[in-house]
Amino acid sequence: MSTGQPEAHDAVDVIRTKRDGGEVPEEALRWMIDAYTRGYVADSQMAAFAMAVLLNGMTRTEIRVMTDAMIASGERMSFSGLGKPTVDKHSTGGVGDKITLPLAPLVASFGVAVPQLSGRGLGHTGGTLDKLESIPGWTASLSNEELHEQLRDVGAVICAAGSGLAPADKKLYALRDVTGTVEAIPLIASSIMSKKIAEGTDSLVLDVKFGSGAFMQDIDRARELARTMVELGTDSGVATTALLTDMNTPLGLAIGNANEVRESVEVLAGGGPADVVELTVALAREMLTLAGQPDADIEAALRDGRAMDSWRAMIRAQDGDPDAALPTPHETHVVTAGEAGHVTRMDALPFGIAAWRLGAGRARAEDSVVHSAGIDLHVKPGDRVAAGQPLFTLLGHDESRFQRALAALEGAWAIGQDAPEATSLVRERIID
pLDDT in tens, 216-234: 999 999 999 999 999 999 9
pLDDT of residue 268 exceeding 80, the answer is yes
Confidence grade of residue 161 (pLDDT, cut at 50, 70, 90): confident
* Catalytic, out of 9, 90, 171, 227: 90
Confidence grade of residue 364 (pLDDT, cut at 50, 70, 90): confident
Q: What is the DSSP string of 297-322?
A: -HHHHHHSSHHHHHHHHHHHHTT--T
Residue type present at position 260 = E
pLDDT of residue 1 exceeding 60, the answer is no
- Which one, of 279, 243, 361, 270, lies nearest residue 98 by Cα? 279
pLDDT of residue 373 exceeding 70, the answer is yes
Give catalytic status of residue 235 as yes or no: no
User: Could you tell me which CATH class the domain 11-57 is placed in?
Assistant: mainly alpha
Q: Which CATH architecture has domain 80-317?
A: 3-Layer(aba) Sandwich (3.40)
Contact 188, 225 (CB under 8 A): yes
* Catalytic, out of 9, 124, 171, 195: 195
Confidence grade of residue 177 (pLDDT, cut at 50, 70, 90): confident
Confidence grade of residue 4 (pLDDT, cut at 50, 70, 90): low
Q: How many CB atoms lie within 10 A of CB 340?
A: 13
Confidence grade of residue 120 (pLDDT, cut at 50, 70, 90): confident
Strand partners for 372? none
Mean pLDDT value across residues 397-420: 95
Q: How far is CA 253 from CA 24, 249, 369, 381, in A?
A: 47, 10, 20, 11
Helix, strand or coil for residue 117? strand
Strand partners for 210? 216, 246
* Catalytic, out of 88, 169, 235, 275: 169
Q: How far is CA 178 from CA 181, 182, 183, 184, 294, in A?
A: 8, 8, 12, 13, 44
pLDDT of residue 365 exceeding 80, the answer is no
* Catalytic, out of 109, 190, 191, 372: 191
Give catalytic status of residue 429 as yes or no: no
Contact 162, 144 (CB under 8 A): yes
158 sits in which H/E element: strand 156-160
Determine the pLDDT at residue 122. Answer: 62
Strands 390-396 and 331-336: antiparallel
Determine the pLDDT at residue 232. Answer: 96
CA distance 379 to 390: 8
- The torsion angles phi and psi of 76, rounded to 5 degrees, stand at -125, 120
Mean pLDDT value across residues 12-30: 97
Maximum Cα–Cα distance across the chain: 75
CA distance 368 to 363: 9
Q: How far is CA 391 from CA 230, 283, 356, 400, in A?
A: 39, 29, 19, 21
Record the pTM.
0.94
Give catalytic status of residue 169 as yes or no: yes
Determine the pLDDT at residue 368. Answer: 84
pLDDT of residue 3 exceeding 60, the answer is no
* DSSP secondary structure code for residue 214 in this structure: S
Q: How far is CA 200 from CA 80, 177, 235, 347, in A?
A: 9, 27, 14, 37
Q: How many CB atoms lie within 10 A of CB 353?
A: 21
Angle between helices 11-19 and 26-37 (to 10 degrees): 120
Mean pLDDT value across residues 107-135: 88
Determine the pLDDT at residue 108. Answer: 98
Give percent of the chain with pLDDT exceeding 90: 87
CA distance 64 to 240: 14
Strands 156-160 and 114-118: parallel
Same fold, 11-57 and 331-416: no
Lowest mean pLDDT among 11-25, 362-376, 405-419: 362-376
- Which one, of 224, 171, 206, 201, lies nearest residue 63 by Cα? 224
Give catalytic status of residue 98 as yes or no: no
pLDDT of residue 384 exceeding 90, the answer is yes
User: Around 260, how many Cα atoms within 13 Å sit in the side-chain half-sphere?
Assistant: 33
Give catalytic status of residue 134 as yes or no: no
Domain ranges (residues) in the chain: 11-57, 80-317, 331-416
What average pLDDT is seen over the chain? Answer: 94
Q: How far is CA 111 from CA 104, 118, 292, 305, 310, in A?
A: 11, 21, 11, 15, 10
- Measured distance between the N- and C-terminal CA atoms of the chain, rounded to whole angstroms: 40
pLDDT of residue 272 exceeding 60, the answer is yes
* Catalytic, out of 98, 176, 227, 357: 176
Q: Which CATH architecture has domain 331-416?
A: Alpha-Beta Complex (3.90)
Determine the pLDDT at residue 41. Answer: 95
pLDDT of residue 260 exceeding 90, the answer is yes
Confidence grade of residue 366 (pLDDT, cut at 50, 70, 90): confident
pLDDT of residue 199 exceeding 70, the answer is yes
CA distance 408 to 354: 6
